[in-house]
Amino acid sequence: MTIERKTHISAQVAEYAIPPLKDMLVLGKQAPIGCIAMRRAIELLVTATYEHIEIEDDVISDILIRQRLLQRVSRDKLIDFVLTHVKPLMGIDEVMHAEIDVKVFLSEGR
């Protein structure tokens, strides 16, 4: 008796996105990686500067945000946005990645 064996391998291959972080990471209090380790990894992979914001919250412990974005939106407004809109979507053990679109409208009256 012969047994026929077939093996099929399928893969989708794409370039790894560097940086793996574009705008912001929100870390839960029990995330599998801590803020210090994440910051070190980001510093090795990314040329942009990221700001660390510690949060006093029951779910979220830290926010890592691209420093340039804090030139467009205040720190308090960003924290309020994260607590209002991101926090309800995440668990205490998660790390959420976010791409942020901040638009600033300028006008000058003469």
- Each residue's pLDDT tens digit, 13-46: 665 665 567 889 999 999 988 888 888 888 888 7
Q: What does the pLDDT average to over 3-17?
A: 75
Q: What does the pLDDT average to over 65-82?
A: 93
Query: Looking at residue 59, what is its pLDDT?
Result: 97
The pTM of the full predicted model, rounded to 2 decimals, is 0.76
Backbone torsion region of residue 64, taken as left when φ is above 0, otherwise alpha when ψ lies between -120 and 50, otherwise beta: beta
Position 87 pLDDT exceeds 80: yes
Kindly give, in sequence order, each residue whose CB lies less than 8 Å from that of residue 67, ignoring residues fewer than 6 positions away: 48, 49, 50, 51
Report residue 99's pLDDT band, with 50, 70 and 90 as the boundaries: confident
